[in-house]
Structure 1
Amino acid sequence: MPCWDTYKLSSLCKLMAVVRLNLQDSLRSLVQDSLTSLTQLLLDACHSLLTCPQDLVWGNDLITSPYQPKKDPVFVFVLQKMFIHDVEWLETVNVWEPEVKELRKKISNCLACDMYSAMNEKLHKKPKRIEELAEKREWMKQIPEELKNLKELVNKTMSDYEMLEELFYNLTNEDFNQKCTTIWWPQRIMNNMETVVTQHVEDEERFRKIQLADQDSFEERLDSLQMLVAGFAKNVDIERARELSNKIQHISKQVKECQTMAQTYNTRERLFGMPATNYDRVHKLIKDCQPFDDLWKTTSDWLYWHERWLNDPLSSIDPEQLECTVKDALKTVHTCVEHFKDIPDCQEVATFIRKKIEDFLPYVPILQGLRNPGMRSRHWEMLSERIQMEVEPKANWTFSHCLELGLQNYMDDVAYVAEVSGKEHSIEQALEKMEQEWLPVVFDVLPHKETQTYILKSPDGVSQLLNDHIVMTQNLSVPQFKTAFEGRINTWESKLHMTRDVLKEWLMCQSSWLNLKPAFSSDEINRQLPVEARTFKKMDGIWRRLMKTAFDNRKVMELCPDAVLFAKLRLCNKLLGQVQKGFSDYLATSGGSIPTL
């Protein structure tokens, strides 16, 4: 070992020793810091989980858990298997080193003492309501079992103390106090439970008195609300419809709150062991309040919408919303008329509003017709011509202007023009939808073996879409409504038919080319059939240019509706037919075989 002995005496060996010591010191510091961070994380987690309910179900997403550490620790990976020639190069922290044992001890103590402390803290927490008191009593029934489970954990820790005593190790004051506290916690908690049980009896009596006082106030509140609801039988001023609507809605909200409170009081009565109070009057109050709410809300809304429909710009009216609003309002006030038979004043209001709605009802088809989304300038001209009156809508044009013009006298004409515009609008939307569906449709153009050109992958989806759209386009050609779009329909139908014809010729051409290309790649066939070889070469040049165009632009509806492309494909098929005939005759006479590509 002369070389190794020489190395050990060299400056390099000393330098490497210093480097190793520095690396090991850094590694130990990192691992110790990591263990300290881990310990603090566990301590924080134990503390935050002390209030964790027993029936908590842990999900898969622990990242968003409500039990988060105070800070996110950065853990350092402990390097392992750092050896050179089976000799350990760097040492990390040993699991039995004093610092590591101290951290482990902190965690063990935390798991026991903190849980005892949290249990005691929860035990002394004063309930604010009878519900909390009942919940706490149920929890206290589980304390003996929890103490039993904790005792098993504590016994494991006590065994460590016993071992230290056998070795005559003197505990520090802090450790000794911690040990004593842990031992006496269970008895302390049991003693505290007796005090808390006595306190609970006083708390229950206090909550009972509060409950009785609250129920007395609740009865007074119900009396007040009942009087307010009954007072609406005399409120019949339609000019105050908005005010009355807001008022009755506010009362209705309070009545529903009373319903929730009644349920709460009955629940608490069961907890107190008291007979449940009958709160049927709350349900009756809700039933009495609802018709007034319906009447004044519908009246207020109708007056508001009627004003808007008459005086707002016609372009701002939603015809579907208008129809629904009118139908719902008419249905509601009809119910109100039936309900208020014993309250003539309210029935009179409902009857008045119903008459207003029924008078407006015939105008709904006119408004829907004028607001048809398909109405264009040509339709307004058509309407003007039919009624012999100039009708030219402007930005500020309102339904009141329409009534002033007397359009209500031409309902049939408005309905007819609206029907025409609607049908034409449907045709326009169908054409636009078909055009949009073709935008993402492309050919799948693939390189073909070693031929330096391309072929089309079987376009079954394209063929199916073509057939569907051809049928749809033919269905759009309704003579009565297609006039405005006749040119566009014919153009689109021509594009579809041209695309179908081009695709048919293309696939036929590709099939023949694939069959003949192997044969005319043979020098022997080219010598035997010089005329057919020249014809195939001519066709092959056209084919390659076509496929290069298809590869550069694969969008079907941009590529295929082209008469020039159709003519070239037909020429290719014609040339291939000539080549196929000559080649077939050659095979029949010579009995030769077809080369493969």
Structure 2
Amino acid sequence: MDVNAFIEQYKEEQHQASEYKEDISFQLKMKDNLEATLPSNIVIGPFYINTEPLKLFLVNKRQEIANKMLDQFCAIMKNNIEDVIQEFKFLMVRLADKPTSIEHIYEIRDWMETIPMSVRTQEELTRRYLLEYDVLEYFWYALPQEDFENKWEAIGWPYKISQQIETTNTFLDDEWDKYYKIQMNDELTLEEKVEHLTVLVTQMSGLRDFSKTHEIAVDIRRVWKAMKEAQEQGQLLNSRQKLFLAPITPYETLNKLIKEFEPYRNLWITASGILLLLLL
């Protein structure tokens, strides 16, 4: 029997820990039976037959199978524990994310509400794997130092996550205050921009020099773009005011300004377009 082929096939069958324990015990039992029942030599009439090499071969093969099954099970358990550790590390990395906006803060907090369930899942897996490690201890298997350290690392991760959650909550509170101040500043900036646009619109509404139609149309487009950008900024600030639980500023002046300016915009842009067609 090809031992390596047998071991590979056994791995593909994805046996449970209890099956590994049972099958390894069987191999060792068969080894003991061979040692106890096979003689080292046989005398047949005048012939003396040395069976020790055959006996050692069969005994060693059983031991080799048992050893490789133990190594295989150890590798499987190592992968399982490392998967758990990676899941915990993923949680830790996400908890260290720095928010880029108030919306991001809410996203992080919403995600943080799912952490207890994720941690419980990994804790249950850890407890299961620690019990399955008993298979190796049962056979006095020399567990590598790295595997031993991984076991204790997995056990300690839930506490580390709980500590990081407290740190992250404090950090997010500070970030909330920071973005609230930015919000206040952005609102003041928008109000100043609306006042500036109001002045520009008042000036442009009195323009009558059709010899400068193209130049005026360019200025009209520039102001219109600034107005639409201000409108979008106002909508963004309104959505953030809800997140900050602050009163909603309607920005009615800006909306009214856009509505009143639109006919002038259409007039000058249309006039500019007609003049361009006439020049063709």
- TM superposition score normalised by structure 1: 0.35
Paired residue for 1:116, among 71, 82, 88?
88
Q: Which residue of 2 aligns with 1:431?
A: none
Amino acid in structure 2 at the alignment position of 1:194: E
1:134 paired with 2:106, answer yes
Preserved contact between residue 229 and residue 288 of structure 1 (Cα < 8 Å): no
Q: Which residue of 2 aligns with 1:324?
A: none
CA distance in 2: counterparts of 1:100 and 1:224, whole angstroms: 75
Preserved contact between residue 227 and residue 258 of structure 2 (Cα < 8 Å): yes
Preserved contact between residue 70 and residue 141 of structure 2 (Cα < 8 Å): no
The structure with higher relative contact order (CA 8 Å, sep 6+) is 2
CA distance in 1: counterparts of 2:150 and 2:83, whole angstroms: 13
1:178 paired with 2:150, answer yes
From the superposition, tell whether residues 169 and 97 of structure 1 become closer, same or farther in structure 2 (CA, over 3 Å): closer
Q: Which residue of 1 aligns with 2:268?
A: 296
CA distance in 2: counterparts of 1:104 and 1:165, whole angstroms: 15
Q: Which residue of 1 aligns with 2:212?
A: 240
From the superposition, tell whether residues 106 and 284 of structure 1 become closer, same or farther in structure 2 (CA, over 3 Å): farther
The Cα shift of 1:218 comes to 1.2
From the superposition, tell whether residues 156 and 168 of structure 1 become closer, same or farther in structure 2 (CA, over 3 Å): same
CA distance in 1: counterparts of 2:70 and 2:253, whole angstroms: 74
The Cα shift of 1:223 comes to 1.0
CA distance in 1: counterparts of 2:214 and 2:157, whole angstroms: 67
CA distance in 2: counterparts of 1:218 and 1:128, whole angstroms: 20
Amino acid in structure 2 at the alignment position of 1:268: R
Q: Which residue of 2 aligns with 1:168?
A: 140
1:249 paired with 2:221, answer yes
Q: Which residue of 1 aligns with 2:127?
A: 155
1:211 match: secondary structure? helix
> Equivalent residues in 2 for 1:29-428 (5 A)?
97=69, 100-101=72-73, 104-308=76-280
Indicate the percent of aligned positions where both proteins have the same amino acid: 30
The Cα shift of 1:144 comes to 0.8
1:177 match: secondary structure? helix
Higher helix residue share: 2
**CA RMSD in angstroms, aligned pairs only:** 2.7
Q: How many residues align?
A: 223
Segments of structure 1 that go 5 or more residues without pairing to the other structure are 1-23, 36-95, 309-597
Which runs of structure 1 show a deviation greater than 4 angstroms over 4 or more consecutive aligned residues? 96-103
Amino acid in structure 2 at the alignment position of 1:175: D
From the superposition, tell whether residues 247 and 98 of structure 1 become closer, same or farther in structure 2 (CA, over 3 Å): farther
- Which whole-Å deviations, capped at 9, do the CAs of 1:391-431 have from their partners, x for residues lacking one? xxxxxxxxxxxxxxxxxxxxxxxxxxxxxxxxxxxxxxxxx
Higher radius of gyration, 1 or 2 = 1
Amino acid in structure 2 at the alignment position of 1:158: L
> Equivalent residues in 2 for 1:396-545 (5 A)?
none
Segments of structure 2 that go 5 or more residues without pairing to the other structure are 13-67
- Which whole-Å deviations, capped at 9, do the CAs of 1:204-245 have from their partners, x for residues lacking one? 111111111111111111111121122112222212212211
The Cα shift of 1:167 comes to 3.5
